[in-house]
Structure 1
Amino acid sequence: MITIDLSDRVAVVTGGSSGIGLACVERFLEAGAAVAFCGRDQARLDAARDKLQQKYPQARLLAHACNVLDAEEVGAFADAVRSHFGRTDMLINNAGQGRVSTFATTTDDAWREELELKYFSLLRPTRAFLPMLREARGSIVCTNSLLALQPEPHMVATSSARAGVVSLTKSLATELAPDGVRVNSILVGLIESGQWRRRHAEQAREGQSWEDYTGELARKKGIPLGRLGLPDEAAQAIFFLATPMSSYTTGSHIDVSGGLAKHV
């Protein structure tokens, strides 16, 4: 296994209290980095922080409540990171969720909410942390979805917004390259999450295990590897793009979909 020492680096992860974000926090801690992560739910943040401190007693860790759609809160988060750690080398824009709706069922307000979520959950942290990222000649990685290239009719607003984030990532990579700041993204397919666990509890046949339920789901979706991805598998791709392991890569995206991608 390739190892890398990030003991002199600071990583910032939005949406870091669960799922892919929390897996990212762990990857960076294991490599020795200091990590700041945020989320909206204070109780969930506290629980994640406590669990991480128990698992990594020497961890340099900052958990900060923050709504990434609120410019003042994001600015306060960036100030806290600078005060606590003095720098930011890697920004992981991971906050966000999907909206299930068709064109016929998506209202104007729902379109606005979805576009704001997908764009500003990336734009506001990037603006707030960019001064430190320029100082560090650092990196930005965005968690995006395969829906950007393979839209689903039942997720029309999310698919459209995700496609825009691909273009935005490329534009940022070009604009920030002279500052030495790299910008990349991952495109995830179906990844195990609390949402899928809840669906299993609600939809599974009597006695149907999690493995059988997700295996059946993967077959229906046409995932060649025959299963859902793990949060850590997405985090590993993010880790690669965020660190000097990918020092000559910018404006790119990595497919993390188990072979579901047809256009990457």
Structure 2
Amino acid sequence: MIQLDLTGQVAVVTGGSSGIGLATAELFLHAGASVAICGRDSDRLARAERELRERHPQAQLLAARCDVLDAADVAAFASEVEKRFGRADMLVNNAGQGRVSTFANTTDEAWREELDLKYFSIIRPTRAFLPMLRNAANQGDGNAAIVCVNSLLALQPEPHMVATSSARAGVLSLIKSLAVELAPEHIRVNSILIGIVESGQWRRRYEADGEAQAAGQSWEDWTRELARKKHIPLGRFGRPEEAAQALFYLATSLSSYTTGSHIDVSGGVARHV
């Protein structure tokens, strides 16, 4: 197993208070990096910080409330990271959830909300941390990287998620454009394309399923049944740590010759070659 020492490097994870973001922050801390996480929900963020500090008592950790769609919040978060750590080497853009809607029932307002979330959850943090990433890239053998959590919907759209699918495809193009633009500055930009990954959103759907609750169906059985219905070849949902491992690879020097690319983390559900 490759052991990577990230001591002296700083990783920033948006949406870091739960799920994939929290699992990613944990991997960075385990490798010795200083980590800054942010999230909109103050209570959830406090719980995440407490959990991380319990597991990593010596951690160099910053947890700050931040809405990535608020330019002032993002600027303040970047300023706080610079004041605390003096640098940022890796930025993980991880925010947003899917919107279930068809073209017929998606309003203009819903379209704007979806496009705003998917684009600006990447644009604003990237813009705010880019000066620090440039500095990191210029420091000898420095590693500077941006990694974004995207969805398989970018390549394999679903009609019942028309707005999200469209936005995800646009984000894939944005990431490729950023990779080309920033490559001469030695800043790598990549993404992962996730399928269904266990999350609070899916837990809430399970708890709201009256039939499953009445039958005493376990979470494991419920997700396996849903995976079968959705034709996921591996027969289960992904786990946050599995997506996190792909993010960690793309954010670190393990992928030093990779940019403008994506890793499929969908359990084999992708139909494209």
TM-score range, shorter chain: over 0.9
Q: Secondary structure at the match of 2:35?
A: strand
Residue in structure 1 matched with residue 54 of structure 2 by the alignment: 54
Residue in structure 2 matched with residue 151 of structure 1 by the alignment: 157
Q: Deviations over 1:225-246 (max 9, x none)?
A: 0000000000000000000000
Which amino acid letter does the alignment assign opposite residue 215 of structure 1?
R
Equivalence map 1:243-262=2 (5 Å): 243-262=252-271
Q: Secondary structure at the match of 1:2?
A: coil
Which amino acid letter does the alignment assign opposite residue 133 of structure 2?
L
Measured after TM superposition, the shift of residue 201 of structure 1 is 1.5
Q: Is 2:201 aligned against 1:195?
A: yes
Q: Is 2:216 aligned against 1:207?
A: yes
Partners of 1:99 and 1:207 in 2: CA distance: 28
Partners of 2:135 and 2:236 in 1: CA distance: 41
Q: Is 2:9 aligned against 1:9?
A: yes
Partners of 1:232 and 1:141 in 2: CA distance: 16
Measured after TM superposition, the shift of residue 173 of structure 1 is 0.1
Q: Is 2:148 aligned against 1:142?
A: yes
Q: Is 2:188 aligned against 1:179?
A: no
Structure 2: runs of 5 or more not aligned: 138-143
Residue in structure 1 matched with residue 103 of structure 2 by the alignment: 103
Residue in structure 1 matched with residue 174 of structure 2 by the alignment: 168
Partners of 2:3 and 2:115 in 1: CA distance: 38
Residue in structure 2 matched with residue 125 of structure 1 by the alignment: 125
Partners of 2:203 and 2:118 in 1: CA distance: 24
Which amino acid letter does the alignment assign opposite residue 34 of structure 2?
A
Partners of 1:209 and 1:2 in 2: CA distance: 36
Partners of 2:177 and 2:27 in 1: CA distance: 28
Residue in structure 1 matched with residue 43 of structure 2 by the alignment: 43
Partners of 1:221 and 1:152 in 2: CA distance: 12
Measured after TM superposition, the shift of residue 34 of structure 1 is 0.2
Q: Secondary structure at the match of 1:4?
A: coil
Which amino acid letter does the alignment assign opposite residue 57 of structure 1?
P
Residue in structure 1 matched with residue 92 of structure 2 by the alignment: 92
Partners of 1:63 and 1:155 in 2: CA distance: 32
TM-score, structure 2 normalization:
0.95
Partners of 1:195 and 1:81 in 2: CA distance: 29
Which amino acid letter does the alignment assign opposite residue 235 of structure 1?
A
Q: Secondary structure at the match of 1:106?
A: coil
Measured after TM superposition, the shift of residue 202 of structure 1 is 1.8
Partners of 1:55 and 1:163 in 2: CA distance: 37
Partners of 1:246 and 1:153 in 2: CA distance: 34
Partners of 1:72 and 1:201 in 2: CA distance: 36
Aligned residue pairs, count: 264
Greater mean deviation of Cα atoms: 101-110 or 200-209: 200-209
Measured after TM superposition, the shift of residue 207 of structure 1 is 1.5
Residue in structure 2 matched with residue 69 of structure 1 by the alignment: 69
Measured after TM superposition, the shift of residue 261 of structure 1 is 1.0
Taking every aligned residue pair, what percent have the same amino acid on both sides? 72
Q: Secondary structure at the match of 2:167?
A: helix
